[in-house]
Amino acid sequence: MASENIIEVSDDNFEQAVLGHDGPVLVDFWAPWCGPCKQIAPILDEISKELDGKITIAKINIDDNMNTPGKYGVRGIPTLMIFEGGNVQGTKVGAVNKVKLTEFINEHL
């Protein structure tokens, strides 16, 4: 479940909510059964508050939305992708700690 600072996106609104967004968007490709996805959820929540206004964080459930992950070659979860201007700027696969995730985001801000 996403916090107030994290948006839920789907196949239907991905283009508008992520690709058409003004500014960087970190997309978390996840599933409810994924243990590592659950591990990074509180970290994403913290980062969404700390970087509010600098980056938007979005989550897409790959079980409910199969087209978007396929389009971007998501093979393992969690997969985190930073989009800006409609293009992928960076990708990180697997659970990472807060320091590594913050470094990854800052590289693309």
By DSSP bridging, strand 56-61 and strand 6-8 are parallel
| Annotation says 32 is catalytic | no
Residue from 34, 51, 55, 101 carrying the catalytic annotation: 34
| Annotation says 34 is catalytic | yes
Q: What angle do CA 59, 38, 75 make, to 5 degrees?
A: 60
106 vs 103: CA distance, rounded Å: 5
Residue from 9, 18, 37, 82 carrying the catalytic annotation: 37
* Residues labelled catalytic: 34, 37
